[in-house]
Amino acid sequence: MPDGMARLAFNMEQNYNTGYTRINGYRPVVTAGLPGGGPVRGVFIYNNVIYVFQDDALVSPTKCGLWQVIPDVYRIGSEADGDAQEDWGLNIIDTAGSFTEIVAMKDIGDADTTLLPGGFYEFTMHNFKASARGGTGAYLGVWDSSTKYIVGQQVTYPDGGALYIAIQDNKNKQPDTQASHWVVKDDSINVNYGSHNITGHSGNIYGTDGKNPAFEFDGTTLKQIDSSYTPNVPHHIEANGNRLALGFREGEVAMSAIGDPFNFDPVFGAGSVGTTDWLTAMMAGPDGVMYIFCKDKTYLYKGMGGPLEESELVKHNKNVGAYPYTAKMLAGHGLFYDTWGLTELAITEKYGDVTTESISANIQQALLGIQPNVADIHTDKAQYRVWFKDTDSAIGTVDNTNMSICLIVTLIQG
């Protein structure tokens, strides 16, 4: 069957190179079961290590815990290893997996804390530009226009550990005073302006759950973030323009200072923008554009990488919004699920502009009456996957030839 022709399948998926195949790659990571007693609230992978949030009890939980997952180790069964004949050639657990609880959790005041249960986690990984957080002291830096950061010019930090950014107004010029909000970069660190990448460091995990403050996780310690918003319990999170964006259910999006995900003080360039609808999702686009989705509307927020007073919130569609947690970017395609099914935001040649197009018309009948729970992407398979509240899923695959979206409904059994 040619790619893109299937509409309904059982335990099948599209491989963008070879047509349709059975779903491959699912098995228990740890067969011994989960560490907590309640529902899993979130899963993420950081530095090739799996982490899981889970409530500590199914009924009346008191907290949500975070565990590092140590997967089962498999070997191939063989006669030489003394395995039963029926196990020859099969995967056999050699070392049982386990879980290690992450106990280093700090609140906004840097005191030990625990997490309230019942959240719905969302994550982003980001590497904010290297910065020096300091108390009183002189630092040296000279503006180098070739690398666009400071390597010499003497400045003094005020008391209190305030953060300053090495780009004044996001422009390539030497900051003139310490009031320009800038910080000296370590001369040994390779900083590429606009790439959010520091040599040898992939970034940290940032997350929200709608029950606790947003947090940063560096592989060892979970540290909560003060967004200066009340109540400080964002539901959605994204990073763009070297800022951290926190989305609140009431329609407010708080944005950090450039380069510092812990600084939401407007004095240092942080700010916020409000919509008039129930916020459901956010998605980072190119050139500092953020797509903000509400229950019944879609907004484009332009200029996130520059001074916020020069940014612009544009209502893109007053009739189309997104279901919560379904907006994802895959291979340059902005995808989200709404009441009409799966929709694509296609980028145009005009800066910050997009067009909206439904791409699930051919399977609309199969999607009627089922509500999505969450969406994710599988970059290796070029898949956008919508997980519904039952066992079904809708899988959209980006075709390797023409970059169109081929969508099928996969009924996953078992």
pLDDT tens, residue by residue, 12-40:
777 766 677 777 666 788 988 899 999 99
CA distance 256 to 227: 8
Q: What is the DSSP string of 292-311?
A: EEESS-EEEEE-TTS-GGG-
pLDDT of 294: 94
- pLDDT grade, residue 259 (50/70/90)? confident
The dihedrals phi and psi of 379, each to the nearest 5 degrees, come to -65, -35
Question: Is residue 138 left, alpha or beta, with left meaning phi > 0 and alpha meaning psi from -120 to 50?
Answer: beta
pLDDT (tens digit per residue) in 182-225: 333 333 322 222 222 323 345 899 999 999 999 999 999 999 99
pLDDT (tens digit per residue) in 321-360: 999 999 998 877 888 988 878 888 876 656 556 777 777 7
- Report yes or no: 222 and 216 within 8 Å, Cβ to Cβ: yes
pLDDT of 175: 43
pLDDT of 17: 65
Q: How many residues does the chain have?
A: 414
pTM comes to 0.78
Between 160 and 244, where is the model more confident?
A: 244
Token pair for residue 166?
Answer: 């090495």
- pLDDT of 164 higher than 80: no
> For the purposes of burial, counting CB atoms within 10 Å of the CB of 310, is it exposed (0-12), middle (13-18) or buried (19 or more)?
exposed
- pLDDT grade, residue 117 (50/70/90)? very high
Closest-CA residue to 274 (of 303, 305, 301):
301
pLDDT of 226: 95
HSE-up (13 A, CA, CB side) for residue 160? 5
pLDDT of 361: 74
- Calculate the average pLDDT of the chain: 76
Portion of the chain with pLDDT greater than 90, in percent: 38
Q: How far is CA 143 from the centre of its chain?
A: 33
- Report yes or no: 211 and 116 within 8 Å, Cβ to Cβ: yes
Least confident of 68-72, 137-141, 270-274, 368-372: 137-141
- pLDDT of 100 higher than 90: yes
- Contacts with 256 (C-beta within 8 Å, 6 or more apart), sequence order: 243, 244, 245, 262, 263, 264, 270
Q: Give the pairing of strands 405-411 and 8-10.
A: parallel
Burial 180-193 (b: 16+ CB within 10 A, else e): bbbbbbeeeeebee
Closest-CA residue to 151 (of 140, 165, 164, 138):
140
DSSP bridge partners of 44? 51
- Report yes or no: 177 and 222 within 8 Å, Cβ to Cβ: no
Indicate the helix (H) or strand (E) that contains 125. strand 122-126
pLDDT of 18: 65
Q: Which residue has the tokens 């940014």?
A: 311
* Torsion angle, alpha carbons of 230, 233, 239, 245, to 10: -20
pLDDT of 90: 87
Q: What does the DSSP 8-state code read for residue 89? A: T
- pLDDT of 256 higher than 80: yes
Q: What does the DSSP 8-state code read for residue 201? A: B
Between 177 and 379, where is the model more confident?
A: 379
Average pLDDT value for residue range 294-309: 90
Portion of the chain with pLDDT greater than 70, in percent: 70
Token pair for residue 113?
Answer: 């804390």
Average pLDDT value for residue range 271-292: 91
